[in-house]
A and B are shown apart, each in its own frame.
Chain A
Amino acid sequence: MSEATTGFGRRKFINWFLGTSLGGLLLMIVYPIVRYISPPEIPEATTNQVEAGREDDPELLEKGYKIVQFGVEPVILFAAGPRDFRAFSATCTHLDCIVEFQKQEKRIFCNCHGGVYDLNGRNVAGPPPRPLTAYRVDLVETTPGQPATIVVSKA
């Protein structure tokens, strides 16, 4: 049968066959590579509560704040007043830097791009688009008469 009568001759079939095989082969090579370079989702152990030391922690007294490891998240813990401890996510909502608490200015500040948050974690100046996530802080007296232990938990 000639090519003209069928419209789909031997040559065309072979070209189509080779083309698709080649495409398929390429896909078989590229797909695993693309999947491989996309990092797998790794479930992280959920942390609900951490002990952040005692209320007379020298670092806390001296600098006015400390960064607490809440699982893999950094959380900033500071004293807004006597026995008034507050904790917020320490990750700046702008571009992911870690914030600090400035005792003198009474504010949370990000050194990367000058983002400012108030003592309630609200973004008040600079580029941050959202407030910092708040954490709950409890003072637990384990031994009477001794300084209490600061416990930070998810709000």
Chain B
Amino acid sequence: MARATERVLAWLEERVPVSTVIELVKHKTVPMHRLSVYYYLGGMTLFFFIVQVTTGILLMLYYRPSAEEAFESVEFIMTVVPFGWLIRSIHSWSANLMIFFAFLHLATVFFGKAYRKPRELTWVTGCLVFFLAMGFGFSGYLLPWNKLAFFATKVGTDIAGSVPLVGEWVMRFLRGGERVTGGTLSRFYGWHVAILPALATGLLGLHLLLVQLQGMSVPPSCEKEAAERRPLKFFPDFFLRDLFGWLVALAVLAALAAFLPWELGEKADPFAPAYKNIRPEWYFMFMFQTLKLVPGGEIAGIEYEAIPIMLFNLAGLLLVLVPFLDRGIVRNGRSPGFTAIGVVAVAYIVGMTAWGYHSWVPVWVALGSILFIALLALATGRKRRAR
């Protein structure tokens, strides 16, 4: 067996530089310090992305993207196709967990100042992938063609329409016409299964390549500790830890899908009133709640509702540009101002989400996540005693 492997490797080596790759993997290390747990969050997001691709391809085998058949085909997947309920439920749960971990990954990278030189491009590509993930969520939400999704899409696309000058075109472009119809559904399907995956694959590939080329960033507060401690070998030490996390995630996914299967709701009806508790996916909730608070009216031909929308767009743009705006971290290795802005932003998002749901759950989830990461950091970040 060992000899056969050797012979295959030798055969390959004559054609492609396998040994270079093996050498690289052998020498790759991960810095160790009390916040090393941060390094698992990106990998966790990637795991859920892989689950999305796999289950998404499976769903495509039965899903039919038209207003007449979409709802029925999802119903068919969930009730007739063997394990269809499981695949669809996992796809929905994994989508939400992916966004959740992407949020955590983004936050830890932000607060750990990992965007500082030379990792500006890693940050920019990461942000873009994050926006794409939200695009996946928005386009995928409509595909079951149920009432909740129908109205969320109406509102979401109308929001785009309120932006001055380009809004009208963007709205028509998104909807594929004046209204949310079966045409919108085909369009969203195209985005969801072809355009966004193509863009995401390219950007994610670049993001991962940059991470490999530059290695892991060490938060400024842990630099001294990381210099003193022996780094962890990527293979097999870090890799196995990553794999363990993925296994736990898979178990959690299966449990969620089995015990809390994703609802399908009622079929969309363009001639029925919106019912109570119409809401977008939770990660759009803070924007939705903000919009709810804006009174009706116009100023200089711009509707009031367009103002927060433009501010959110601006915030998104500023988020991408953080590495180029934060000069303090380059000059003296500190940028408490950016940390403060980050804390305020997180508090705003969590607070508005809680308000939107009239529930404390978002606050508990946020505090729980911080506690969980802190506990994991305690469990994994300590220096191992020499044996």
Closest residue of chain B to A111, judged by CB?
B274
Query: Is the CB of A132 closer than 8 A to any CB of chain B?
Result: no
B296 touches A127 (CB 8 A): yes
Within 5-46 of A, Cβ neighbours of B (below 8 Å) are at: 37-39, 42
- Distance to closest chain B CB from A65 (angstroms): 9
Give chain A's interface residue range (CB within 8 Å of chain B): 20 to 34
B270 touches A74 (CB 8 A): yes
- Distance to closest chain A CB from B21 (angstroms): 36
Q: Residues of B contacting A111 with CB < 8 Å?
A: 273-278
A38 touches B172 (CB 8 A): yes
Query: Is the CB of B357 closer than 8 A to any CB of chain A?
Result: no
Cα separation A123 to B295 with both chains bound (whole Å): 11
Q: Residues of A contacting B154 with CB < 8 Å?
A: 95-97
Q: Residues of B contacting A95 with CB < 8 Å?
A: 154-155, 158-159, 162, 291, 305
B271 touches A97 (CB 8 A): no
Q: Residues of B contacting A103 with CB < 8 Å?
A: none
Within 82-119 of A, Cβ neighbours of B (below 8 Å) are at: 90, 93-100, 110-115
Query: Is the CB of B237 closer than 8 A to any CB of chain A?
Result: no
Name B173's contact: one of A37, A42, A74 (CB within 8 Å).
A37
B297 touches A129 (CB 8 A): yes
Q: Residues of A contacting B281 with CB < 8 Å?
A: none
- Distance to closest chain B CB from A52 (angstroms): 12
Q: Residues of A contacting B297 with CB < 8 Å?
A: 129
Q: Residues of A contacting B303 with CB < 8 Å?
A: 129
B176 touches A97 (CB 8 A): no
Query: Is the CB of A79 closer than 8 A to any CB of chain B?
Result: no
Query: Is the CB of A128 closer than 8 A to any CB of chain B?
Result: yes
Indicate with 1 or 0, residue by residue over B283-322, a CB within 8 angstroms of chain A CB atoms.
0000000011011111000011100000000000000000
A113 touches B296 (CB 8 A): no
Query: Is the CB of B272 closer than 8 A to any CB of chain A?
Result: yes
Name A129's contact: one of B179, B273, B296 (CB within 8 Å).
B296
Query: Is the CB of A126 closer than 8 A to any CB of chain B?
Result: yes
How many B residues touch A, CB cutoff 8 Å?
A: 34
Query: Is the CB of A136 closer than 8 A to any CB of chain B?
Result: no
A127-B173 CB under 8 A given contacts A96-B158, A97-B278, A99-B273:
no
Within 168-204 of B, Cβ neighbours of A (below 8 Å) are at: 169, 172-173, 175-177, 179, 183
Cα separation A129 to B304 with both chains bound (whole Å): 8
Closest residue of chain A to B155, judged by CB?
A95
B274 touches A114 (CB 8 A): no
Query: Is the CB of B63 closer than 8 A to any CB of chain A?
Result: no
Query: Is the CB of A130 closer than 8 A to any CB of chain B?
Result: yes
Cα separation A56 to B168 with both chains bound (whole Å): 41
Within 149-174 of B, Cβ neighbours of A (below 8 Å) are at: 151, 154-155, 157-159, 162, 169, 172-173
Q: Residues of B contacting A128 with CB < 8 Å?
A: 296
Within 218-277 of B, Cβ neighbours of A (below 8 Å) are at: 270-277
Cα separation A69 to B179 with both chains bound (whole Å): 14
A67 touches B271 (CB 8 A): yes
Closest residue of chain B to A40, judged by CB?
B177
- Distance to closest chain B CB from A35 (angstroms): 12
A38 touches B158 (CB 8 A): no
Q: Which residues of A contact B (CB under 8 A)?
A: 37-39, 42, 67, 69, 72, 74, 76, 90, 93-100, 110-115, 123, 126-130
Given pairs A96-B157, A97-B155, 12 additional interface contacts (CB within 8 A): A39-B177, A74-B270, A76-B273, A95-B154, A95-B155, A96-B154, A96-B158, A97-B274, A111-B276, A111-B277, A111-B278, A129-B296
- Can you give 12 contacting A-B residue pairs, CB < 8 Å? A42-B177, A95-B159, A95-B305, A96-B154, A97-B154, A97-B274, A111-B274, A112-B155, A114-B292, A123-B296, A126-B296, A129-B297
Closest 10 CB pairs of A and B: A100-B273, A129-B296, A96-B158, A97-B274, A95-B158, A111-B274, A95-B155, A113-B292, A96-B154, A98-B273
